[in-house]
Chains A and B, each alone.
Chain A
Amino acid sequence: MTSQATAPERMARRQLSDRAFAWLLISPAILFIGLIVVWPLIETIRLSFTDATLGGESWVGLKNYADLFASSKFWATVGRTFYWMFLSVSLKLVMGLIGATLLNAAIPGKALFRVLVMPPWVIPVAIGVIGWKWMYNGYFGLISGLLQEFGLVEERVALLATKTSAFYSAIVTDVWVGTPMVTLFFLAAMQGVSKDLYEAAWVDGAGRWYRFRRITIPQIMPVIVSMALLSAIWTFNSFEIIWILTEGGPRGATTTLIIDTYKVAISSQRFGEGAARAVVIVVLLATFSLFYLWFLNRVNRHYGAK
């Protein structure tokens, strides 16, 4: 570094090391992800071709996959997982949209209401789910009690004990966990919509519903669409909620792919077979995401967003 160098020259010299500097800056992140995500992922793929257990492992080729694809139970689980994802995400989006619209209304008390939306989001997921597990129980749970009180059921109902009710109970809890975050993101997006648009429409005599449909929704569409993707991925991989409520039961009614993977790989310690399931999850999610991003791209172009 000669002190004679002029400022622009100095900047030019720095430009040259841009690459090195940038890689230096992101290297800790890359190391971390490499060690905790990429390497385990490669290992998972390798393990999926073995019959690894605690005892040892040997190469079995595609056997794990062949077994999986031949099993009707597995396809039922795949179907259930997608159904779980679509239903839960749709409900979260609808709830989020309703919630954000309500919280966005110009009424006294809205600051307080916004605070009251947050609790399910800022506590450990597992704690909230423990609360739900209590409410679903048949002997003294709140929901069974209420249903009886209103005369909707004769006897106490153990919601987590029968297949259909257990599945939809898990959905309700998942929606409960996911709704606050979706609501707050939608609210944030709604507040970002330019007031001028609403005023122009209002001057032209557009009603509230029309403004909502033709201004709010299109304006926040990019946020809705990206939130939907994130939410879909999280819901697909949602583990704690189902595990604490039902551990995948009764008789497999709430077993999604992630629960199945955990059971096989960790509970029964059949690492090879578990790894094959994990790989299937990754492939399914990657395919789904790519398709979705393509769709997102089209939506963004359609609505003229950046």
Chain B
Amino acid sequence: MIDRLSLWQKIGVYAATFVFLLFLLMPFIEMLRVSLRPMSHLMTADFTWWSEDFSLQAYRDMWVTVPLLGRYIFNSIFIALSVTVVTMVVVIPAAYAYARLEFPFKALSLGGFLAVNMFTGAVLLIPLYRVLRSLGMLNTYWAMIVPGVAFLIPTGIWLLRSYLEKIPRELEEAAFVDGASRLYTLRRVVIPLAVPGLIVVGTAVFIGAYAQQFLFAITFNNVREIQPLPAGLFEFIGYQDTTWNEMMAAALTGVLPVMLLFLFLQKYLVAGLTAGAVKE
């Protein structure tokens, strides 16, 4: 009863929600509209919402204009997945240490990790370039994976720590009493219990890695074959003869796999963010 809205309030909420969502989805609607129209009509005719000339031609032509499109899509997902796996391998033990163990400089080192959030790759590009060069990683997938991991570790530790803190200590103590080693306990008791949290943190890391792969790619890699989607498409954009309809078609096709995945996962994701991040 407390939540009941009058008819007018309901209409108001729907109208406001519509405007809000329109703002967030407008670029997608527009990208779709552009991708469905022939380039010549786009450039010459005045703006129209609807036209008779809708066709899927751009979705065929884009594979010719952007021959590596399939690779770009694969690279984007591959890089984001690799970043996620490496990040989780590093984050799980660290988050456990911060959640459970007492050690000198605990608060200080955690603060240090969080301070990393203040940097982005863009500030450190010059020396980072040299580090990656001396490691022989330039122009390889690693050039895009390794820096990505470093900047996601702090958030990962922070999010996962709050999950692990909620797992009852008694379970671990029981395992200790039975003579289990620390690593065994971590592997066989803590990690299985933390699976929901791991999925949420992993998803958050994946989103971060997937969203932010442009800068490292354009700076540390010039091999076309391993370029992720945004960097690959960027090469075709901004010139006089940019075929915008094909670029939009390629962009939409490129993000479709991950978008679908998230539409299915969103329920868990929102629930998970609630549990982890809100706890201050």
Hey, which bits of chain A sit against chain B, CB under 8 A? 7, 10-11, 14, 18-19, 21-26, 28-30, 32-33, 35-37, 39-41, 43-44, 47, 95, 98-99, 102-103, 105-107, 113-128, 130-135, 139-142, 144-146, 148-149, 176, 179-180, 184-185, 187-189, 191-192, 198-199, 202, 222-223, 226, 230, 233-234, 237, 239-240, 244, 258, 261-262, 265-266, 271, 274-275, 278, 281-282, 285-286, 289, 300, 305-306
Contacts and interface: CB of A to CB of B under 8 A. Distances in A.
Contact of A134 (B34, B91, B118): B34
Given A7-B176, A239-B120, 19 more contacts: A21-B101, A22-B97, A26-B98, A32-B149, A33-B153, A36-B131, A36-B147, A41-B127, A107-B13, A125-B211, A125-B214, A127-B255, A132-B27, A134-B248, A185-B277, A192-B274, A222-B280, A262-B122, A265-B125
B215 A131 contact: no
B44 to A, nearest CB: 9
Chain B binding surface, main DSSP class: helix
Contacts of B150: 32-33, 35-37
Contact of A139 (B17, B43, B101): B43
A124 B117 CA distance: 19
B30 A135 contact: yes
A91 to B, nearest CB: 11
A145 to B, nearest CB: 3
A202 B2 contact: yes
Residue of B45, B229, B244, B251 most packed against chain A (CB within 10 A): B251
Nearest to B230: A126
B126 A131 contact: no
Given A116-B25, A127-B233, A188-B274, A237 B103 contact: no
Interface string B115-149: 11111101111111011000000000000001101
Contacts of A135: 26-27, 30
Residue of B23, B234, B270, B273 most packed against chain A (CB within 10 A): B270
Contacts of A192: 274, 278
B2 A198 contact: yes
Given A118-B266, A262-B125, A102 B20 contact: yes
Contacts of B24: 116-117, 119-120, 176, 179-180
Contacts, number: 284
Contacts of B182: 14, 21
B31 A36 contact: no
- 3 interchain residue pairs of minimum CB distance: A145-B47, A126-B230, A36-B150
A119 B25 contact: yes
B211 A123 contact: yes
B274 A10 contact: no
A133 to B, nearest CB: 7
Interface stretch (B54-62, B63-71, B191-199, B256-264): B256-264
B123 A22 contact: no
Nearest to A39: B131
Contacts of B274: 188-189, 191-192
8 contacts: A7-B176, A106-B5, A124-B76, A125-B230, A132-B27, A179-B24, A192-B274, A199-B2
Interface string B6-45: 0000100110110011011111101100100000001101
Nearest to B23: A176
A240 B266 contact: no
B94 interface: yes
Contact of B278 (A132, A189, A234, A266): A189
Given A35-B131, A145-B47, A305-B280, A122 B210 contact: yes
Given A124-B230, A148-B47, A239-B120, A274 B21 contact: no
B90 interface: yes
A183 to B, nearest CB: 9
A103 B17 CA distance: 8
A176 B26 CA distance: 10
Interface in B48-98: 76, 89-91, 93-94, 96-98
